[in-house]
Amino acid sequence: MDEHSIHSPFFFDFYNQVIKKSRKATGHPRIERLRNTLLKDQTPVPNDDPGAGPRLDKKGKKTISRIAKNSLSPPWASRLYQRIIQYNDSKNIVELGTSLGLNTLYLAEKEGARVSTFEGSTALAHMALTHFGLFEKENINLIEGNIDRTLPEFLQNTGKIDFALMDANHRHEPTLRYFNLLARRLTDKSILAVDDIHWSREMERAWETLHRHELVYGSIDLYRCGLLFFDPALNKQHFILSA
């Protein structure tokens, strides 16, 4: 399906202004240079990820290169998330699953925004903090620890969330649990992105549940990721689009 099949004015505009342009836009040069460096880095990483993280190599090891190759969002998806927060002028941004911090850096480019990013792996959190320091980003708050504990604590003391990216525990039950926690802080104009919705049968089941949720009034399946919208005026519309 493309924009010619979209009859909703909102989704027609969103497709053309956000999705289509994210494919054509160039990435952030410094962030993409960092990505290329990480893709070549064979440094071993402790396997301390509490969620369904990147698969190990044939020797049962995990390296920075393997994480960068298998876990980082592709450049077009990072640009997509960046364009979304520009589109709805996000100020309070939440990211579940910092990983090496590249999506975080893209999100933190938004002027006036504050990014709260959650990472369960101590090793990955420390590497991401190093990257944030290199870019001298002061609008990123990295919250380290098991998200099952840190997210509820955080949500007790935060305001409304404009944009959330869920890219943490790639399992059915945790994905639904995190959604239900975040939903308490979303507004009609909030947008929630779920990464890797076709990563496994579990994630596909989770996506099926989420885009049919009573609080969700619009959704877009881009295969790599799914986008959820919460404005009742959208009248329960679901689209499967090529990014």
Predicted confidence at residue 25, as pLDDT, reads 73
pLDDT tens for the 243 residues of the chain, in order: 555 567 789 999 999 999 998 887 778 999 999 999 999 999 999 887 665 554 444 455 789 999 999 999 999 999 999 999 999 999 999 999 999 999 999 999 999 999 999 999 999 999 999 999 999 999 999 999 999 999 999 999 999 999 999 999 899 999 999 999 999 999 999 999 999 999 999 999 999 999 999 999 999 999 999 999 999 999 899 999 876
237 CB burial (10 A radius; 0-12, 13-18, 19+): middle
Contact 231, 188 (CB under 8 A): yes
- Please state the CATH superfamily assignment of the domain spanning residues 3-25+73-240 in this structure: Vaccinia Virus protein VP39 (3.40.50.150)
pTM value? Answer: 0.93
Who's near 201: CB < 8 A, 6+ residues apart?
Answer: none
Tokens of 111: 């002027």
Residue 117, CA distances (Å) to 24, 103, 159 in order = 27, 10, 15
Domain range summary for the chain, segments of one domain joined by +? 3-25+73-240
